[in-house]
Structure 1
C-alpha cells in the first residue's frame, strides 16, 4: 500500500504531533463541525455546543486511533477492526463522512506544521488516511 518513503513521511509527521493529540483532535472536530455541520449528528454525546473539554477528550481518542494506525500501518485491517465494527454496526456513521474528516485533518496538519508539511508529506498522509477510511468502511453492509 505505502512505499518506504511514504511510511517515512507519515512517521515524520506523527513525530511532530505526538503528545498533542488532544489539541490537534479538538481543532479537527471544530473545523469539521464548522465546515460540515451535518456531521454533528454523529457526535450527539457532545451536545449541540460542545465545550473545550469535550472536544479535547474526543479529539484525543480520535487521534490516538490514528497513532495506533501509524504504528501498525502494515496491519490496518486487524488494528482497525474494532473501530470498523463500531462505526458500521453501532454508530452507523455514513461512510461519506470519512473523506470530510480526512480533509479537515489535513488542513489542521498544514495550518500547524506549515512549511514542515511538504507536498510529499500531504500526499503520503492523504494516501494513508484514505487507506484507514477504506478499512473502516469495509464492514458496512
Structure 2
C-alpha cells in the first residue's frame, strides 16, 4: 500500500499530533458536523450543539484509532477489524461518510501543521487514510 517514503511521512505527521488526539479529533468532528450536517445523525447523543467534553472524548477515541492504524500500517485489516465490525454491524454507519471524514481530517492537519505539512505528506496521508477507509468498509459486503 505505502512505500517506505510514504510510511515515513505518515509516521512523521503522526509524531507531530500524537499526544494531542483529543483536540485534533474534536476539531475534526466539529468540522465534519458543520460541513456535512448529515453525518451528525450518528451522534444524536451529542445534541444539537455538541459540548466540548463530548467532542473531546469521541475525538480522542477517533484519533486513537488512527494511531493504532499508524502503528500497524502493515496489517490494517487485523488492527482495524474490531472497529470495522462495530461500524458495519452495530452502528451501521453509512460508508460514504468515511471519505468525508478523511477530507475534514486533511483540512485539520493542514490548518494546524501548515508549513510542516508538505504536499508529499498530504499525498501520503491521503493514501493512508483511504486505505483505512477501505478496510473499514470491507465488512459491509
For the superposition of Structure 1 and Structure 2, which TM-score range results when normalised by the shorter chain? Answer: over 0.9
The TM-score with structure 1 as length reference comes to: 0.99
Alpha-carbon deviations, 1:47-99, whole Å to 9, x = none? 22110010000000000000010001101000100000000001111110000
- Stretches of structure 2 lacking an aligned partner (at least 5 in a row): none
Match of 1:112 in 2: 112
Question: Residues of 2 paired with 1:123 and 1:97: CA distance?
Answer: 20
How many equivalent residue pairs? Answer: 141
Query: Where in structure 2 are the equivalents of 1:96-111 lying within 5 Å?
Result: 96-111=96-111
Cα RMSD after superposing both structures: 0.6
Q: How far does residue 42 in structure 1 lie from its aligned partner after superposition? A: 1.0
Query: Where in structure 2 are the equivalents of 1:84-95 lying within 5 Å?
Result: 84-95=84-95
The TM-score with structure 2 as length reference comes to: 0.99
Question: Residues of 2 paired with 1:126 and 1:42: CA distance?
Answer: 24
Match of 2:68 in 1: 68
Which consecutive aligned stretches of 4+ in structure 1 deviate over 3 angstroms post-superposition? none
